[in-house]
């Protein structure tokens, strides 16, 4: 193997396959060695998890095996260290084999390989016992990097070879195993199914074996490769052409292959990133308009006049005026730059100022983007880039909200104190505008190489309206459709975390499909699939409904490029004006179905979300019909866009941006995944502190998002259980938000969000430190007024089953509604044989009217304080447990309603109504002292000026 040593001669030659063999053997030895040692020495300890142990769980997980105990941990760390040398060499050789001049992909894959190796060292040498957070960060980084590593190596594998087949098998097996892996992990973590962790552990080990096997395939590629060591500096690259050259030559005409068939350019990537960020700001400002408008009818309790600003988006009608159209298209950076008012609106101190800023931003954004599309109508590659940037901007907005617990960090209701990134958003906007300002100005009225558009511009505009409304109402937040299909505990469907990442992934897949196969996406077959998805989303629940949601998601993003490309064939002043005007009508329709009690003629569309969905798909169908009129039969039947080198080159950079966003969403899903190991505040006395609060949709008196202030008060009040009312914000007018995610994650509580946004209520929610064993959602009788939601949940409180009811009754004006609702919920409470708590909004005075139905033998419930005469809306009732305390805490400027709190002890009789001094109450059953006197941040004990305690 080593010829005679002499100057300039070969010292040693090492077959490339030896590198792969060394890596594979060392890696398998590390895992299997730790497994054998661990099972031999600490078997019962490493199969134990937080819920069960041996014999229910009998197979150890990878993390428990390699990181929990000595000496198996040391065995693994020693042998995995041995793999590092061969690993780096393997990445280097793989780069040498696949690299060619001007190709970016091999460099990218090599960089990912190096990064992945270092992250492997991270989770190896920082175990979950040493540092749980650091271990998880390294692990998620490794798993995220596995995606481009796997896809990149498959893309670089020679066509028709054994290595390509093996990589496809092992890669597909790896990703397919993630499905049962996730399923059984959720079964263990959320449902606590005995034995589920054992099955999860088996899947986890199989994933490890497939991961190592995928890398072992390089032995096939390296069969003709040697490392030659001489005493002369340098490395011989050989004269044979790279394998990748042959592959790209064979694959260059395929759509996916076209993406990477261009020399990588950092300036071009920066251009794509800048355009995408401008798309992100458009969607951020547009989605911020609804929540700023909503503030005014919310506080006026009716129409305020400010609602007219929802029409800010009709500005495209100005494009029907020739001089203005030419100005808008020629000076596009200026037109788009003026939308900065929407980002700067957070600087305004008054709600009216914030609304004005956002309205201006929407006006200019909705003028600029249609002008940009229209200006590039004769240049397919540039038009596609604009559409891609606008669409990926929506995805970026959804990712930003996913990362920020459904609040967009650049909205005007955000600031540094509640998680806002407004200054950063403004700075990035300035950089993006400066970047796109380098482009030469366009003339929207220059001669274009387009055939005359066929059909009516109205149809194209109606299609845009349906598309805009669907994208905004369903996809501006990744959890909206998940809330549509949520039906309570036990969990039978998707959760906002982690499954919000699935929605974002479906958006990305849809857009890629629409870019590569626009002729298929624009057809009736795709429209039919989207309509079926819409029907399942509207009519079904749990996983069935969510599968429909994902189908609809893919369709909406897929049809976006062809829908906009068709619309720009027509005069923009008509087409885009019709689109945004009808979109606004749909926004009002979307609000009217639940706000019918407060708007003129609202009863005509009461509770008809199904009508909204049908109308949306019919509008999109108009656009599909118009698009097919303007495409030739030959192009309609094609599954591949016509060759366009410029489009192929620029398209690749938007795919990179899209991939980065997808990896970000996966990382966010991992980081935000709940721990489900929540602890009550006073388990030593079996105390349960429960509260009821009407949160006014998490908008405070100053038009700021109030979740952080709410979280502080709930934490300081030491609430184990809380019912939230007026909590459903998953509509355009409320920003498509979900405050329960922020509160549940930050406070460490289980959450049931109650009846979904398609149930036409203002919402109620339950947060609990105790596991929610079962919950059912109710829409109580409301023949005249608004729908009244209720939750009936059973909690596991210190081993005893306790029922909790959360309920929001109808308004004062609807007397018959409230009578029927009272009877309905009374029957629910009376039918429960378990100790119970009612956390409610009851429009009645104490000891009058419906109060006497609630507090009666029929319900079995008692008032927490019968002597408290100064109540009107919020009431706490209970039965079957000891009530020890009651307090009323002022709201400050968070909402319009106080927080009412009760303390109970599980497993003790109800007791009497006799009030006792605090000195006779054990320390752990007392309310916090910080709310006495002036309190903190405007929160204090009021009405009685102190808590009340009972014998």
The set of catalytic residues is 808
The tokens of 801 are what? 């089953």
Q: Which of 448, 705, 725 shows the shortest CA–CA distance to 572?
A: 448
What is the pairing mode between strands 882-889 and 874-879?
Answer: unpaired
- The residue behind tokens 């849809």 is 510
DSSP 748-759: T-EEE--S-GGG
Phi, psi of 875 (to 5 degrees): -140, 145
Per the CB < 8 A criterion, the answer to whether 91 and 117 are in contact is yes
List b or e across 108-133, with b for residues whose CB sees 16 or more CB atoms inside 10 angstroms: bbbebbebbbebbbbbbebbbeeeee
Q: Which of 790, 720, 791, 712 shows the shortest CA–CA distance to 750?
A: 720
Dihedral sign from CA coordinates of 186, 189, 190, 193: positive
Determine the Cα–Cα distance for residues 676 and 193; give it in Å rounded to an integer. Answer: 14
In whole angstroms, how far apart are CA 360 and each of 267, 273, 345, 356? Answer: 31, 25, 9, 6
Determine the Cα–Cα distance for residues 409 and 401; give it in Å rounded to an integer. Answer: 7
DSSP 141-209: HHHHHHHHHHHHHHHHSPTTSHHHHHHHHHHHHHHHHHHHHHHHHHHHHTS--TTHHHHHHHHHHHHHH
The tokens of 687 are what? 């105390």
SS3 801: strand
Per the CB < 8 A criterion, the answer to whether 497 and 669 are in contact is yes
Q: What is the 3-state secondary structure (H, E, C) of 535-589?
A: HHHHHCCHHHHHHHHHHHHHHHHHHHHHHHHHHCCCCHHHHHHHHHHHHHHHHHH
SS3 802: strand
Other Cβ atoms closer than 10 A to 442: 20
List b or e across 591-613, with b for residues whose CB sees 16 or more CB atoms inside 10 angstroms: bbbbbbbbbeebeebbbbbeebb
DSSP 422-470: HHHHHHHHHHHHHHHTTSPPP-TTS----PPPPS-HHHHHHHHHHHHHH
Helix pair angle (496-516, 645-672), 10° resolution: 170
Alpha helices, H only, 698-807: 707-716, 739-747
Determine the Cα–Cα distance for residues 56 and 192; give it in Å rounded to an integer. Answer: 12
DSSP 808-873: E---TT-HHHHHHHHHHHHHHHHH--S-EEEEEE--S-TTSTTHHHHSSTTTT-EES-TT----SS
Give Cα 189 distance to the centre of its chain. 20
- The residue behind tokens 């988006």 is 313
Phi, psi of 69 (to 5 degrees): -130, 150
Q: Which of 809, 791, 792, 810 shows the shortest CA–CA distance to 801?
A: 792
Q: Which of 661, 610, 692, 665 shows the shortest CA–CA distance to 876?
A: 692
SS3 276: helix
In whole angstroms, how far apart are CA 534 and each of 484, 510, 580, 745? Answer: 12, 15, 22, 30
Determine the Cα–Cα distance for residues 370 and 375; give it in Å rounded to an integer. Answer: 8
């Amino acid at each position: 193997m080593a010829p005679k040593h002499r100057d300039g001669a070969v010292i040693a030659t090492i077959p490339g396959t030896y590198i792969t063999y060394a890596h594979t053997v060392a890696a398998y030895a590390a895992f299997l060695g730790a497994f054998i040692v661990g099972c031999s020495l600490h078997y019962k300890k490493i199969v134990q998890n937080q819920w069960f142990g041996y014999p229910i769980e009998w197979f150890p997980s990878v993390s428990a095996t390699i990181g929990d105990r000595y000496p198996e941990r040391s065995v693994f760390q020693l042998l995995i260290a041995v793999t590092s040398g061969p690993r780096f060499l393997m990445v280097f050789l793989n780069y040498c084999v696949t690299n060619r001049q001007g190709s970016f992909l091999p460099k990218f894959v090599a960089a990912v390989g190096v990064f992945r190796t270092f992250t492997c060292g991270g989770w190896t040498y920082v175990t979950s016992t040493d540092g749980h957070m650091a271990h998880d960060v390294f692990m998620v980084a490794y798993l995220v990097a596995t995606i481009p590593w796997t896809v990149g190596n498959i893309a670089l594998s020679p066509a028709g070879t054994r290595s390509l087949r093996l990589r496809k098998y092992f890669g597909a097996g790896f990703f397919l195993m993630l499905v049962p892996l996730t399923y059984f992990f959720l079964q263990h973590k959320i449902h606590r199914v005995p034995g589920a962790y054992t099955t999860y552990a088996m899947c986890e080990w199989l994933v490890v074996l497939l991961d190592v096997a995928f890398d072992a395939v390089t032995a096939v590629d390296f069969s003709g490769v040697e490392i030659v060591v001489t005493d002369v500096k340098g490395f011989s690259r050989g004269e044979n052409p790279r394998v990748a050259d042959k592959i790209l030559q064979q694959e260059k005409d395929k759509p996916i292959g076209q993406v990477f068939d261009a020399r990588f350019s950092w300036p071009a990537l920066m251009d794509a990133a800048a355009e995408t960020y401008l798309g992100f700001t458009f969607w951020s400002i547009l989605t911020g308009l609804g929540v700023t408008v909503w503030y005014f009818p919310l506080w006026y309790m009716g129409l305020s006049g400010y609602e007219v600003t929802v029409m800010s988006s009709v500005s495209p009608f100005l494009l029907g005026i020739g001089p203005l159209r030419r100005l808008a298209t020629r000076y596009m950076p200026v037109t788009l730059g003026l939308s900065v008012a929407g980002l700067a609106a957070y600087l305004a101190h008054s709600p009216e100022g914030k609304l004005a800023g956002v309205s201006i931003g929407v006006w200019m954004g909705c003028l600029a983007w249609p002008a940009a599309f229209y200006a590039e109508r004769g240049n397919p590659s540039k038009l596609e880039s604009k559409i891609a940037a606008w669409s990926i901007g929506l995805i970026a907005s959804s990712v930003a909200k996913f990362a920020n617990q459904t609040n967009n960090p650049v909205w005007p209701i955000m600031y540094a104190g509640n998680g806002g990134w407004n200054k950063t958003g403004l700075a990035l906007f300035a950089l993006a505008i400066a970047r796109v300002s380098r482009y030469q100005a366009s003339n929207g009225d220059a001669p274009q190489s387009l055939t005359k558009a066929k059909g009516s511009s109205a149809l194209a505009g109606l299609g845009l309206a349906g598309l805009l409304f669907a994208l905004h109402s369903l996809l501006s937040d990744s959890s909206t459709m998940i809330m549509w299909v949520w039906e309570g505990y036990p969990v039978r469907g998707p959760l906002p975390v982690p499954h919000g990442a699935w929605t974002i992934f479906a958006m990305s897949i849809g857009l890629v499909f629409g870019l590569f196969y626009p002729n298929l996406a624009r057809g009736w077959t795709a429209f039919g699939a989207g309509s079926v998805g819409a029907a399942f989303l509207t009519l079904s629940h749990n996983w069935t409904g969510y599968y429909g949601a994902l189908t609809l998601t893919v369709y909406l993003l897929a049809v976006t490029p062809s829908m906009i490309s068709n619309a720009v064939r027509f005069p923009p002043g008509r087409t885009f004006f019709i689109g945004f005007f009808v979109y606004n009508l749909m926004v009002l329709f979307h609000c009217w179905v639940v706000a019918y009690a407060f708007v003129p003629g609202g009863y005509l569309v009461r509770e008809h979300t199904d009508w909204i969905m049908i109308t949306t798909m019919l509008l999109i169908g108009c656009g599909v019909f118009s698009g097919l009129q303007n495409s030739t039969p030959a192009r309609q039947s094609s599954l591949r866009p016509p060759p366009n080198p410029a489009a192929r080159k620029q398209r690749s950079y938007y795919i990179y941006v899209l991939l980065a966003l997808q990896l970000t969403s996966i990382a966010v899903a991992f980081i935000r995944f709940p721990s489900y190991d929540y602890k009550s505040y006073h388990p030593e006395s079996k105390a349960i502190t429960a509260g009821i609060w009407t949160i006014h949709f998490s908008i405070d008196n100053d038009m700021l998002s109030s979740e952080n202030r709410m979280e502080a008060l709930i934490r300081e009040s030491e609430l184990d259980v809380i019912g939230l009312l007026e909590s459903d914000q998953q509509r355009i007018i409320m920003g498509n938000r979900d405050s329960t995610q922020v509160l549940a994650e930050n406070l460490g509580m289980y959450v049931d969000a109650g009846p979904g946004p398609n149930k036409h209520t203002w919402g109620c929610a339950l947060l609990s430190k105790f596991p929610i064993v079962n919950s059912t959602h109710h829409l109580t009788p409301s023949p005249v007024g608004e729908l009244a939601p209720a939750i009936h949940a059973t909690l596991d409180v210190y081993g005893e089953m306790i029922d909790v009811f959360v309920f929001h009754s109808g308004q004062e004006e609807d007397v018959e509604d409230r009578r029927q609702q009272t009877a309905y919920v009374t029957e629910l409470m009376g039918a429960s044989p378990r100790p119970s708590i009612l956390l409610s909004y009851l429009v009645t005075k104490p000891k009058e009217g419906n109060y006497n139905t609630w507090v009666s033998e029929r319900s079995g419930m008692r008032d927490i304080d019968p002597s408290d005469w100064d109540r009107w809306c919020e009431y706490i009732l209970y039965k079957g447990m000891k009530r020890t305390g009651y307090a009323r805490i002022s709201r400050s400027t968070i909402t319009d309603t106080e927080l009412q709190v009760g303390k109970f002890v599980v497993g003790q009789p109800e007791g009497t109504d006799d009030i006792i001094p605090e000195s006779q109450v054990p320390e752990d059953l007392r309310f916090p002292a910080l709310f006495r006197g002036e309190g903190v941040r405007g929160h204090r004990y009021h009405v009685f000026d102190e808590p009340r305690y009972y014998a």
